[in-house]
Amino acid sequence: MANFNERAASMNLDITGAHKGLYSYVDRFSEVVYRELFTGEENIANEITNDDIHLTDLVRVPKLGVFTKGPNPENGPDGDYEYVGVVSNLYSFVGNDILIQKIKESIENTGTPILEENNLLNYKLTSLRSEIIIRSSQSHSISGDVLPVIIINNSYDGTKAASISFGLSMNHNRERLIFAFTLGELKQIHIDNSNTSIEAPIETYLETFSENIGAMITNSFNTQLTEEGMLYSLSVIEDISKNRKKSISHLLKEMLPDVVEGQPMPLPSSWQVFLAIVRYSSFETNLNVKRMLENAAQSALVIPGRMLDVFKRISAGRTT
């Protein structure tokens, strides 16, 4: 693979500063700058005497520094950049808005309109999660209207690949809950020719969603979680945070019937555990924690075999 500077223009980076090792990209979310790194500084090097020269002075480091700032034009083109890490010369950059627009185009090409777009960024502005809710609801007596969601993840610091995953959205007590399956995730999306590489799995998911989501909710609602299963789900959450476990346990108790005096607390259904975790994860601001909570929520679900098979085929790059 060619080095970063040789691929910068093809990755939609601004290369007007390439002569000084500067490459940038800006959209409605943020601005990111990649800088070539060297040991020392030139003004320091000019003060070095011949006796003081070291072989590592002003050596190019085979990595690029990453700097970000918000898109607020009042900040001006200079300053307010925060150093947020490094990437290798082999790093493949994908701009957040470029990726989102390509996926939205692919969704619209399936003939299904988009209802809503929610975007979340981490505080460093290096990781993005975009939730695109699709206007194709399935009504269920237990959960009400449930809509399919396409979730896009991307990063500017090499911590995660550009990816899409599939999920669902529903309202619960006037709260909008959004959940992403960890099954069927498509990682390292190549957005060139995305219409041919992305539309097929999106269309496949929309089809299996309409055919199986009702059965998944019903089966999960009618399946009482065993004590072992309950402890497993809570232990996964406790590994993330004990405080989060307490909050989710509290939400779970709200869903269960009142305990009869002298009787043990009833075990919840798989759906109740799923719903308690998703009620919490939907408002989690840490994107990494949100993903781990979703993995715990998924473990509680009773997913139909046909739906599992579709997720496996999507992950393997097959949609038929």
Which DSSP string do the residues of the chain spell out, in sequence order? ---HHHHTGGGT-B-TTGGGTEEEEE-SS-EEEEEEEESS-HHHHTT--GGG--TTTTPEEEEEEEEEE---GGG-SSS--EEEEEEETT-----HHHHHHHHHHHHHHTT--EEEEEEEE-TTS-EEEEEEEES--EEETTTEEEEEEEEEEEESSSSS--EEEEEEEEEETTEEEEEE-STT-EES---TTHHHHHHHHHHHHHHHHHHHHHHHHHHHHT-BPPHHHHHHHHHHHHHH-HHHHHHHHHHHHHHSPPPPTTSPPPPPBHHHHHHHHHHHHTT---HHHHHHHHHHHHHH----HHHHHHHHHHHTT---
Which amino acid is located at 290 in the chain? K
- Cβ 89 vs Cβ 4: under 8 Å: yes
At a CB cut-off of 8 Å and minimum separation 6, what does 271 contact? 142, 217, 220, 221, 223, 300, 301
| Predicted confidence (pLDDT) at residue 305 exceeds the cutoff of 90 | yes
Amino acid at site 6: E
Highest averaged pLDDT of the listed ranges 233-237, 257-261, 313-317: 313-317
pLDDT band at 196 (very low <50, low <70, confident <90, very high): very low
Predicted pLDDT at 44: 57
Rounded Cα distance, 290 and 113, in Å: 27
164 with 150: CB under 8 angstroms? yes
Spatial separation of the C-alpha atoms in residues 81 and 66, rounded to whole Å: 10
pLDDT (0 to 100) of residue 269:
87
**What distance separates the 2 farthest-apart alpha carbons in the chain?**
87
Phi/psi class of residue 249: alpha, beta or left (left: φ > 0; alpha: ψ in -120 to 50)?
A: alpha
Of 12-26, 222-236, 295-309, minimum mean pLDDT range: 222-236
| Domain assignments of the chain as residue spans, ordered by start | 4-88, 94-320
Render 183-245 in DSSP notation, one character per residue: TT-EES---TTHHHHHHHHHHHHHHHHHHHHHHHHHHHHT-BPPHHHHHHHHHHHHHH-HHHH
Rounded-to-integer distance, Cα 37 and Cα 63, Å? 7
Provide the pLDDT confidence category of residue 174 given band limits of 50, 70 and 90. confident
Kindly report which listed range (158-167, 212-221, 238-247) carries the lowest average pLDDT score: 238-247
Query: Is the pLDDT assigned to residue 258 strictly greater than 70?
Result: no
**What is the model's pTM?**
0.86
Question: Rounded mean pLDDT of 230-247?
Answer: 64
pLDDT digits (tens, 9 = 90+) for 24-65: 999 999 999 999 998 876 555 566 556 667 777 778 888 999
Percentage of residues in the chain having pLDDT higher than 90: 54
> Residue 193: pLDDT above 50?
no
